[in-house]
């Protein structure tokens, strides 16, 4: 045996462990900083009071409410559209057919569109063309366009995990397609749909750039969906960039946002581990 391969082996091992350690170290630094500085000084009052002096003091109650409304609109619009498209793509069209392929490709592009372009589009289309102005409605609709690809992809995944035999047996029994869908496929595909829903909420919650010039900056309690409302992520941006002395509250808001997203992402992976996997084993 010559020594060279051993040396190469060591070198690669060093590289691999080096990268892993540095990556985990950075992740740890970010999370630790946000949790300790932001979480350490968090109290319930912060969540339930209104911001004062442009957010330097006070809480984030109206901002949480605006965020919730934006999310509600996003999901109310994107869920039916996404579910319909996912059913169409997974059950009613094949790779060879032009229509399905076109829809799929355009969704691929949609998934890659930078969020700032969604912002530009939302501003031009929803705010200006449809005349919705800077409003929670415009922001929610813009985000709905953005989460569709994620939603459709994991819902499709859910439908794919339904065994072929279900469809064959249903066809053999002479069931209509709509009852096959309603009684067999939909219940079986719910976990995938749920994962898509949760991931979509996560993506929408994390979004900032698409909301700056669609839902706006106003940090009061929104009176209606046509009111401008500030999302949590925009609040963090505004506090850290435009307001001097806003860092403390920015930390707290960042902590709240990170915790929300962690809960959301973990529940998504929990659902997919629990249900998606089991379905495949059962078949």
φ, ψ of residue 163 in degrees (nearest 5): -60, 145
Site for another protein in 70-109 (CB under 8 A): 80-85, 87-94, 99-100, 102-103, 105-109
Closest contact distance (angstroms) between CB of 123 and another protein is: 7
Nearest-angstrom CA–CA distance, 251 and 220: 20
156's tokens: 């499709």
Q: 4-10 long-range contacts, Cβ below 8 Å, gap at least 24? A: none
Binding of residue 275 to another protein (CB under 8 A): no
Angle at 231 between CA 230 and CA 232, to 5 degrees: 120
Closest contact distance (angstroms) between CB of 186 and another protein is: 12
Gap between the terminal Cα atoms of the chain: 50
| The one among 57, 68, 125, 133 contacting another protein by CB under 8 A | 125
Closest contact distance (angstroms) between CB of 42 and another protein is: 15
> SS3 helix, strand, coil % of the chain, rounded to 5?
80, 0, 20
Site for another protein in 160-189 (CB under 8 A): 164, 167-168, 171, 176-178, 180-181
| The one among 47, 76, 124, 280 contacting another protein by CB under 8 A | 124
Span from 49-57, 60-68, 222-230, 233-241 in contact with another protein (CB under 8 A) = 233-241
Nearest-angstrom CA–CA distance, 93 and 96: 8
Nearest-angstrom CA–CA distance, 66 and 181: 36
Q: Which is nearer to another protein, 47 or 114 (CB)?
A: 114
Span from 40-48, 58-66, 67-75, 122-130 in contact with another protein (CB under 8 A) = 122-130
Q: Which is nearer to another protein, 69 or 118 (CB)?
A: 118
Binding of residue 15 to another protein (CB under 8 A): yes
Closest contact distance (angstroms) between CB of 49 and another protein is: 22
| The one among 237, 249, 272, 276 contacting another protein by CB under 8 A | 237
Residues sharing a CB contact under 8 Å with residue 199, sequence separation 6 or more, in sequence order: 150, 151, 154, 264, 265, 268
Span from 44-52, 59-67, 68-76, 235-243 in contact with another protein (CB under 8 A) = 235-243
Binding of residue 115 to another protein (CB under 8 A): yes
Rg of the chain over all Cα atoms, to the nearest angstrom: 23
245's tokens: 């002395």
Binding of residue 112 to another protein (CB under 8 A): yes
Q: Which is nearer to another protein, 137 or 257 (CB)?
A: 257
Beta bridge partners of 57: 52
Nearest to 180 by CA among 192, 169, 194, 193: 169
Binding of residue 6 to another protein (CB under 8 A): yes
Span from 46-54, 55-63, 64-72, 205-213 in contact with another protein (CB under 8 A) = 205-213
> CB–CB of 192/276 below 8 Å?
yes
SS3 57: strand
Binding of residue 64 to another protein (CB under 8 A): no
């Amino acid at each position: 045996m010559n020594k060279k391969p051993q040396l190469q082996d060591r070198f690669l091992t060093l590289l691999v462990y080096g990268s892993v350690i540095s990556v985990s170290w950075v992740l740890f630094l970010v999370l630790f900083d946000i949790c300790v500085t932001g979480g350490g000084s968090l109290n319930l009052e912060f969540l339930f009071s209104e911001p004062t002096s442009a957010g330097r003091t006070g809480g984030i109650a109206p901002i949480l409410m605006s965020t919730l409304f934006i999310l509600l609109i996003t999901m109310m619009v994107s869920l039916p559209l996404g579910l319909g498209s996912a059913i169409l793509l997974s059950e009613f069209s094949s790779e060879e057919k032009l229509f399905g392929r076109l829809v799929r490709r355009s969704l691929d592009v949609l998934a890659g569109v930078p969020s700032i372009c969604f912002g530009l589009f939302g501003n031009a289309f929803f705010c200006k063309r449809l005349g919705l102005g800077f409003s929670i409605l415009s922001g929610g609709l813009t985000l709905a366009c953005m989460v569709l690809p994620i939603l459709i992809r994991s819902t499709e995944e859910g439908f794919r995990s339904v065994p072929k035999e279900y469809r064959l047996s249903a066809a053999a029994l002479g069931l209509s397609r709509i009852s096959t869908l309603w009684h067999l496929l939909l219940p079986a595909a719910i976990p995938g749909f749920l994962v898509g829903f949760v991931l979509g909420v996560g993506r929408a919650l994390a979004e900032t750039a698409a909301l700056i010039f669609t839902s706006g900056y106003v940090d009061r309690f929104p009176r209606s969906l046509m009111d401008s409302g500030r999302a949590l992520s925009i609040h963090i941006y505004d506090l850290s960039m435009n307001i001097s002395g806003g860092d403390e509250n920015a930390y707290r808001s960042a902590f709240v946002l990170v915790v929300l997203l962690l809960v959301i992402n973990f529940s998504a992976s929990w659902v997919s581990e629990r249900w998606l996997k089991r379905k495949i084993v059962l078949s």
